[in-house]
Structure 1
């Protein structure tokens, strides 16, 4: 857990019984025929890349025809993913014919669908090699010629803009800063020692690449021929007096922490709390701690002998690490939902990139139409006329009293908002019309906290470990996260660079101090540790500290699920407005929330959706598989809904239907051989207002059924004529 940027276990050693089971599985695998082995491998690759091997993503439901053989398609899709996984590091386009070579001739049509979907949504043929920069010639569909405005040049914005450009769309990126990368920022520190200049790269923002060979950012590094180093999984611990903590005591403390954590995981199935939605992880941890140790509270640790106190403070160090993982105080994290992404983790080693993450950030930004110093202040959107975006131009030498130029970008077909949640929470961008209550509630509910760093450049290396932890004394909550974890970035920096992390309340307090004060606290800890080793800690040649909570283009580091939010909150954040304004960023990707690869993948997803909707594919393409005239009317009617949320699309009525609305409901498939079921119903607008505020798809469907407006089973022919008249009144072609 100490090395995952999201506090997830690195794995466990199997016991004898588990080894026997694994041996049996291996024997059974060897007995499978070649075809079955290939299927097993393909399914494993699909799972590792975030797919369910046997069902569709929601974007596949948007893209594929309704009548597709889902089981056959999934088998073929999994195979195509495996083919790309083997070749992706080369930076070459994987063609349809290459995918089809080992597929039965009966499945060639499915290969075309799988290849088209995976290319459109960036799961294959993704990268920044020269060949992959222009995949428009390989795109299965013609792009719209209208401009897409991407707001923000962080990883989500760069991924979205790069992919839309590769697919043939005109794109302009508006970025308030005067650099790309957003919360991924590599800064070069420099100083002079004995007449020679010393320079080293420092990662001020996101730094670690997760997911081993399955990580999409790792793919970019490999295609560029970059070097990466596995992050050392061993942490040496030092106490507040600078003494090295024995492995025995450290192990005991880790065991205690895990014992309490296991209790927390079990609480979900009990009635210990009346409403788990209102319980923080911190509250539950303290309660379970006291039960584990006979009522002894946290504060009692200060009055115990040093051995027990040290163990307790080591447990407290683990909590500081949990707060680092979520950039949030444990007292605010949701007990029930904060770890909802555990099941989606990309498996594999964690890496640091030689030269820093600027290597792939600059590669993504290369040749894109990015306007730096353009801070977006207003987004005006309409289903009929498109999107107008207003921005103010910020000079590189920013004079806050200078009157700024205001520019407008009009009649874009769509825009993609990739700014951090912290910016949305502050209301920096005005939306016209205003955001829906559902969207605004999600912005208000999700957490967005702070993690800060202090980075020192030294004339030479004096530290003896790649990674080490410091156990703080002082106030139990306020101080535990102060410079609690140190990383050597010598490999990344190309020079002796040491980084210290601060989390929780300590990270927030960080921002009330001067840079010099923050640096001195880090130096105090280093002197304590190395004085006992008779090593003199030299003065740094240069240093940098972060203040992400005060950054006007971020107001924090990354998202978390605090009390009052859950995974579905991320789903609401990603919902578009009138199919004109789309949202991307790590907060919109619940499976990989708070990660760089989550931000990157969310940008690709937004690009794929726009390409599908604005190229005449998607819903319009599905109609070509059915000659029924009424089906064509339905597709035309809902190709530009007035409102879309969850599994619901809404068209507002006119004329005699002026106070009503037509709602299309996407129900889940009844089996793996059929696609999702779509039902329609005409209801009063007042019921739509209530429906928007219902929490989640399941509850929304239940609400419509309960009101007698929707039948989920069978065909309700009594409403068919009314629905047709409603669609005719809209005049859609």
Structure 2
């Protein structure tokens, strides 16, 4: 382990004080053990962790304040980071509780602040949408998102080239032929998820990887009563921080890493760079020698989005106190915000906050103050009526114009992937380190992303793994969204099925067996069976019709409702005749192709469910997945018995591509 002070792992002698002034040819050069570039939460977390181990750490910050993209103004408005996303299990929750910083749970997730169920949505007529209308907007969007994810999964699995997310969205919408009002409803939800959460336009996001592998903590967001600045103040306490000191160049010398600022030159044994991705992409910080080619390519591919805010400050509240979020679909959604946040509910302040992401937020930065006021008050008047009072003042953010940010947070651009975030996190020569939300491939774009990365690099610098453990209690965000969409789809479908029809489907599933006699759905209770049964479509075939052919692409699972089919296993097993209740193609989901040929012997009525929804169902009900896997293992053991333990040359061939990858 690197010694915390006095001596370093390379044998060099550390300074006795927090800094030294070098004599001789480099007279005036200041010396310390570790320099952290940037006093955002990543840099402050790393600096605090290293100081506790005895390291001499100096933090250099370009701004006249600490916090970086965390900035709470005098009225308590968080101009940058605002929420603890995913309260349960989040390390920030543990941090603020340990510091005694008060916070409140507001629910929802990073996209639907406060939760869509709790949101009051104002529609094109300026009225509150009733639950039927409101839920229909989400059902329409779910259809598009389901199709989008199906296509993305296929593209990832088959290695198709990447493209912009917008290209696929536009293609799906064009094929659907929605009315203008319905398309506006769909684009509203896409803007909630992409523009106001991911903070970028879909034409700049990767179709294949825009949220691939993104992990989330427990459901529900929280806000800090005094704003995020309270966390920053606690982490910055007693730290050696030099403000208004922008770093211009970092040079990897033979004996030290040299940091050049506008006012001084520093030599350090190790340097941790925590500046925003936008600063690195802009080339504002020079590296000598230049960063490795693969790291530079990762920088070029990754995107950096913008999320701006407009805050309207009133002398007193004139809106309902308890409603936290108002949804705004009164005008063209591409030109207006999707939500208005009520700070009275969370902070007891008569302030309304509008979120404007991506190009909408960037364009707003160029507007004159009067245009911003007119725009924001128009939104408020559409919701609360033309007689609403004028705000005392209106404030706004301009993150993309900020020379020390150039935006808000990272996103996965076209041809990029989360692996580029890992590449960005890689040290250079074990002397130059990188932290910040854009270096965290578990989850980027959040405060906890940056905080964790700072601890990660402190652990790496100190050689002390106790400082950081990778997240282990999270859920993939795409999987969570898929499950939520699946459940909403099931609720919607149940409402359109007669009770007798639903009972018929449940009975088929309850007694259903696959061709090998396994009752796949035996672990499910009736309520779970109803969820699954409601999602199936119906298909009919005439006698002699080919239902599926072995080796053809597989897209879904079948359950026989009526009639008989012949199942041909390609000579591996004897052909079998299956009837009502038989489950066909369930294991094809693992192979991406049909493993049997199925032909209708009589007139046949089938229930059909596409593999993507079926896979999502398995995520939500893993007992069924375990039954399927147990069946596969059992059949593999039977195959070994038949072969009498003969060596399978093919097994080695199957492993070789994985070993070479």
TM-score bin (small chain): 0.5 to 0.7
Query: Could you give the per-residue CA deviations for residues 412-436 of structure 1, whole angstroms, max 9, x where no partner exists?
Result: 1100000001100111111011111
Aligned length, in residue pairs:
438
Q: Is the 8 A contact 2:125 2:330 kept in 1?
A: no
Is 1:511 aligned with 2:365? yes
- In structure 1, which of residues 202, 214, 239 is the aligned counterpart of residue 123 of structure 2? 239
Shift of the 700–408 alpha-carbon distance from structure 1 to 2, 3 Å rule, reads farther
Shift of the 224–471 alpha-carbon distance from structure 1 to 2, 3 Å rule, reads same
Is 1:610 aligned with 2:461? yes
> SS in structure 1 opposite 2:430?
coil
Distance 2:12 2:458 in 1: 11
Q: Is the 8 A contact 1:485 1:501 kept in 2?
A: yes
Deviation at 1:701, TM superposition (A): 8.2
Partner of 1:550: 401
Is 1:348 aligned with 2:219? yes
Query: Could you give the per-residue CA deviations for residues 331-360 of structure 1, whole angstroms, max 9, x where no partner exists?
Result: 221111111134x21113210010111111
> SS in structure 1 opposite 2:141?
helix
Distance 1:471 1:577 in 2: 48
Deviation at 1:157, TM superposition (A): 0.7
Shift of the 272–582 alpha-carbon distance from structure 1 to 2, 3 Å rule, reads closer
> SS in structure 2 opposite 1:352?
strand
Partner of 2:200: 328
Shift of the 157–287 alpha-carbon distance from structure 1 to 2, 3 Å rule, reads same
Task: Report the structure number with the largest CA radius of gyration.
Answer: 2
Query: Could you give the per-residue CA deviations for residues 529-576 of structure 1, whole angstroms, max 9, x where no partner exists?
Result: 2127xxx42222233101100000000000000111001100110011
Distance 2:213 2:156 in 1: 24
Partner of 2:40: 154
> SS in structure 2 opposite 1:590?
coil
Is 1:425 aligned with 2:281? yes
- In structure 2, which of residues 63, 68, 77 is the aligned counterpart of residue 182 of structure 1? 68
Q: Is the 8 A contact 1:155 1:599 kept in 2?
A: yes
Deviation at 1:271, TM superposition (A): 6.5
- In structure 2, which of residues 88, 98, 112 is the aligned counterpart of residue 213 of structure 1? 88
Q: Is the 8 A contact 1:571 1:588 kept in 2?
A: yes
Distance 1:590 1:273 in 2: 20
- In structure 2, which of residues 56, 63, 76 is the aligned counterpart of residue 201 of structure 1? 76
Shift of the 143–324 alpha-carbon distance from structure 1 to 2, 3 Å rule, reads farther
> SS in structure 1 opposite 2:413?
coil
Partner of 1:449: 305
Distance 1:567 1:503 in 2: 21
Q: Any unmatched runs of 5+ in structure 2?
A: 6-10, 15-31, 107-113, 467-655
Aligned positions of 1:54-65 closer than 5 A: none
Distance 2:415 2:155 in 1: 19
Q: Is the 8 A contact 2:122 2:330 kept in 1?
A: no
Distance 1:435 1:511 in 2: 32
Partner of 1:289: 173
Shift of the 164–351 alpha-carbon distance from structure 1 to 2, 3 Å rule, reads same
Aligned positions of 1:82-101 closer than 5 A: none
Partner of 1:718: none
Is 1:315 aligned with 2:186? yes
Is 1:439 aligned with 2:257? no
Distance 1:702 1:351 in 2: 45
Query: Could you give the per-residue CA deviations for residues 89-127 of structure 1, whole angstroms, max 9, x where no partner exists?
Result: xxxxxxxxxxxxxxxxxxxxxxxxxxx9xxx9xxxxxxx
Partner of 1:484: 338
Partner of 1:594: 445
- In structure 1, which of residues 151, 164, 167 is the aligned counterpart of residue 50 of structure 2? 164
Deviation at 1:280, TM superposition (A): 1.9
Is 1:337 aligned with 2:195? no
Shift of the 144–583 alpha-carbon distance from structure 1 to 2, 3 Å rule, reads farther
Query: Could you give the per-residue CA deviations for residues 391-426 of structure 1, whole angstroms, max 9, x where no partner exists?
Result: 11xxxxxxxxxxxxx31011x110000000110011
Deviation at 1:144, TM superposition (A): 8.6
- In structure 2, which of residues 366, 372, 384 is the aligned counterpart of residue 530 of structure 1? 384
Shift of the 493–269 alpha-carbon distance from structure 1 to 2, 3 Å rule, reads closer
Partner of 1:714: none
Query: Could you give the per-residue CA deviations for residues 239-293 of structure 1, whole angstroms, max 9, x where no partner exists?
Result: 24422222211211101111111112111454799964422222112222333x2
Distance 1:338 1:271 in 2: 13
> SS in structure 1 opposite 2:438?
helix
Is 1:376 aligned with 2:247? yes
Partner of 1:280: 164
Is 1:568 aligned with 2:419? yes
Is 1:539 aligned with 2:395? no
Query: Could you give the per-residue CA deviations for residues 38-86 of structure 1, whole angstroms, max 9, x where no partner exists?
Result: xxxxxxxxxxxxxxxxxxxxxxxxx9xxxxxxxxxxxxxxxxxxxxxxx
Is 1:414 aligned with 2:270? yes
Query: Could you give the per-residue CA deviations for residues 155-204 of structure 1, whole angstroms, max 9, x where no partner exists?
Result: 1111111111111100000000011110010001xxxxxxxxxxx31110
Distance 1:578 1:273 in 2: 35
Q: Is the 8 A contact 1:268 1:276 kept in 2?
A: no
Shift of the 591–604 alpha-carbon distance from structure 1 to 2, 3 Å rule, reads same
Shift of the 459–614 alpha-carbon distance from structure 1 to 2, 3 Å rule, reads closer
Deviation at 1:510, TM superposition (A): 0.8
Aligned positions of 1:379-418 closer than 5 A: 379-382=250-253, 384-392=254-262, 406-410=263-267, 412-418=268-274
Shift of the 444–271 alpha-carbon distance from structure 1 to 2, 3 Å rule, reads closer
Q: Is the 8 A contact 1:472 1:484 kept in 2?
A: no
TM norm structure 1: 0.57
Shift of the 276–490 alpha-carbon distance from structure 1 to 2, 3 Å rule, reads farther
Deviation at 1:614, TM superposition (A): 13
> SS in structure 1 opposite 2:63?
coil
Query: Could you give the per-residue CA deviations for residues 299-329 of structure 1, whole angstroms, max 9, x where no partner exists?
Result: xx34xxxxxx1x3312111111122111110
Distance 2:355 2:127 in 1: 20
> SS in structure 1 opposite 2:65?
coil
Partner of 2:522: none
Deviation at 1:702, TM superposition (A): 3.9
- Highest RCO, 1 vs 2 (Cα 8 Å, sep ≥ 6): 1
> SS in structure 2 opposite 1:186?
coil
Shift of the 353–143 alpha-carbon distance from structure 1 to 2, 3 Å rule, reads farther
> SS in structure 1 opposite 2:442?
helix
Shift of the 263–366 alpha-carbon distance from structure 1 to 2, 3 Å rule, reads same
Q: Any unmatched runs of 5+ in structure 1?
A: 1-62, 64-115, 121-134, 137-141, 189-199, 303-308, 393-405, 616-697, 704-733
TM norm structure 2: 0.63
Name the Cα RMSD after superposition. Answer: 2.9
